[in-house]
Amino acid sequence: MLMRRFSEPVDLRSRKEMTAYLQNHFRYSTKNSWNGADSYAHNLKIYKLGLCSEIEEKLYDLLNFQEFFDFLRELMDDFARRHQFRWQAGMNGRSGGYLVLYEGELRPTGYLSFCTCCGQRNYRTVEETGNVCGKCRRPARVNYKHTPMQAVTFPGRGVDMDEDYDEWPIEALRDRVRLVQDFDRLADEMVTQAIQFAKDYEIEEVEVCIPQTQQVLVANR
């Protein structure tokens, strides 16, 4: 069995080929099946990837480690940054086995200052409330030079549902194909990197001693 690949070439000169590519692309719910919204997606469930049994078993074991998910999350974050967070990728499904394309945006957090000692953030400026941190009580608050931003995702919003691509301007159609192709390449990259991760790391059992605090009786002196 060959490892499954998700990316494919598309002739950007052909409206017919681009339309067929988008219309035939696999789709999945952006939130829950009952809300009726879906988007471009890929099934990344391990048993669907066409991998050898040794790698499959290793990947199932890696699902128990947060480091593995953080590693894959960084690839999705890179995709979002490439698209200025206007487009983002995330996992969905009961077991999180589907990679889905989401709409999103960057929004100001509203924070105006922060503590340089403990990192506590504040919605007021130093000029308004002084430089003493309300958490650690140190005089270490400073204003942000630039308003910090946060990424927002719209999980209940569908993408290109029931679209008539024949009505799209050719450049808009090309832009959408390029976006979805980049999304396809992300799926390939996640699978490739997951396999490499499985080859680079072994899982070992170690004994971990966890200190506990208990109350004991001590005789008065």
Q: For the segment 207-218, what is each residue's pLDDT rounded down to a tens digit?
A: 988 899 999 989
Residue 1 has pLDDT above 60, yes or no: no
Percentage of residues of the chain with pLDDT beyond 90: 87
The per-residue pLDDT for range 173-197, each reduced to its tens digit, is 999 999 999 999 999 999 999 999 9
Q: DSSP string spanning the chain? A: -PPP-------TT-HHHHHHHHHTS-EEESS-GGG--EEEEEE--GGGS---HHHHHHHHHHTT-HHHHHHHHHHHHHHHHHTTTTEEEEEESTTS-EEEEEEEEEEE----EEETTT--EESS-HHHH-S--TTT--S-EEE-SS--EEEEE-TT--SSTT--GGGS-HHHHHHHHHHHHHHHHHHHHHHHHHHHHHHH---------------------
The per-residue pLDDT for range 129-179, each reduced to its tens digit, is 999 999 999 999 999 999 999 999 998 899 999 899 999 999 999 999 999
The per-residue pLDDT for range 98-127, each reduced to its tens digit, is 999 999 999 999 999 999 999 999 999 999
